[in-house]
Structure 1
Amino acid sequence: MQPRNVSMSGAVDLSAVKAAAEAKQKAEQARAQRAAAQSDGGQQAAQVSLVIDVDEAGFERDVIQRSAEVPVVIDFWADWCQPCKQLSPILERLAAEYGGRFVLAKIDVDANQMLFQQFGVQGIPAVFAVIAGQALPLFQGAAPEPQVRQVLDQLIAAAEQRFGIVGAPVDPDQAQAVAEAQQAVPAVPDNPALAAAHAALDSGDLGGAITAYENVLSDEPANEEAKLGLAQAQLLSRVRDVDAERVRKDAAERPDDIAAQLAVADLDLLGGHVEDAFGRLVGAVQRSVGDDRDTARVRLLELFEVVGAEDPRVVAARGALARVLF
């Protein structure tokens, strides 16, 4: 079964501009639904299972749909995998400890080869997350618990800040009350100027999209959705007509050519090689001086906007940039 609306390219999904806003609205509705259901039932909601076994048939329901309300962490494992037997108990224990702030979905790779291939898993154990239908690789291998805990904390923060998604225990017996509450939640009105910018981006009118997002930001400088859209439109505009093979050859032959390094970083990011793009630009900042150094630094900050400020890879790259600069 093909997972719908899932980015398999390092979570740099160029449809995420609208997805973030829609996910925030759905998350707000879900919270209102839970509150209404609890009120109607007169009891505290009971906790559903926080660790579930997922197969290809149930992936849409158990992962994609559920990720609109709570971050879903996916543990790719196999019975013969010894490192998996070290990592899985840690993830399961933390799922219980975190009490509904994320759900752990366990996928046996031997029984679900299609999902294994679609996520591009190179080896197991491998841990991904899905937030609002967007896939994000977290880590591979049997990481120690402190590292796992740190990654989960960053994931939960990103889910709340970027998408407005906050997991919470839900009583499955109150499903009918939840459905009724959903109808009572008013829709959040659209921003016409932002909708026009999205439409331009969707149609491939990159110049129009850039202008439209800039217009939104001139009136609302803090509009995060417009910032993300502008960064994505600019990235697509830069790479639209480039010869990827020539660009990579130039960058390899001229490591001190800032323009060449920036062009390859754009290609890497668009292809989902986020750490490679960030590492290349941090290295360019470290090697250069003056205007070249500032140009590389500014481009790196622009790419941070594309991925999202709370993404763990952005957090790590910001730290690396700070060490280089200071």
Structure 2
Amino acid sequence: MDLIGQPAATPATGPTIIDGNQATFMQDVIEASRQIPVLVDFWATWCGPCKTLTPTLEKVVTAAGGRVRLVKIDVDANRALVAQLSQLGLPLQSVPTVAAFWQGQIADIFQGGLPESEVRRFVEALLKMAGGTMPAADLLAAARAAQEEGDIESAAELYQAMLQEEPEKPEAWGGLIRCFLAAGREEEAEALLAEVPAKIVDHAEVAGARSALLLAIEGKQASGQLRELEARLAADADDHEARYELATALNATDRRAEAAAALLDIMKRQRGWNEDAARLQLLKFFEAWGLDDPATMAARRKLSALLFS
């Protein structure tokens, strides 16, 4: 259905998650969808995937902040409704089935269990169709969650969606650059960094991504020399240059605690070596990892103990 010219969705004033049935379907779904997009979750008590999908739907709908409603329909308790909808062409032979309604008609549908990132993408597409968007804070949370789960593609798409809405969002720029880095695409990350608006170029999120990029480039050059560097240190424990390069290589392979330990070891052996290069590199690590990263906090405590001992 062509929705051009239809009114944009407005946030719901009532409950956003409800249990529906045959008696309330017209009011809860068809009529309500003229004001707000409505997801209908057709489920059953015996359905294993439903037990995972329904909580995910509830989480995503709650995060949408009243911009979409979820109506849950138990297919076994509403067989007459299921038969009626099936006659209208809605495939309900298997569950879970999720149908999206907007302006009184079916706008989209999916069947089977989906991961949270895919459910968010489905809801975001529905909201765009209805003239709305997911709240930026929830897009950011979803992007970071996808990134932590290793779903770099979904994270990048979410960051890009944020930038379409807010071109000067530093968290989105920093996150997108890190996605390119995680995919091993340093040149594209560098090109993206050059496009960051001047207004936010020194923001902590962007600065952290910049440090991560520089360390990735340095580490790529050193990571192939791990055995050689370890051999140099075995021959001479005071080869600070080898230990410094080893720290960079370890960081490139995400061995953060070991990387920090190598730099701290240099500082213990020779405070101020090479114009304080070890400490400055460690601070660069902190910036790249993030100030609230467990590796940062652990290494910072050790650095403080060393500096003030």
Query: TM-score of the superposition, structure 1-length normalised?
Result: 0.41
Higher relative contact order (CA 8 A, sep 6+): 1
Highest CA radius of gyration, 1 or 2?
A: 2
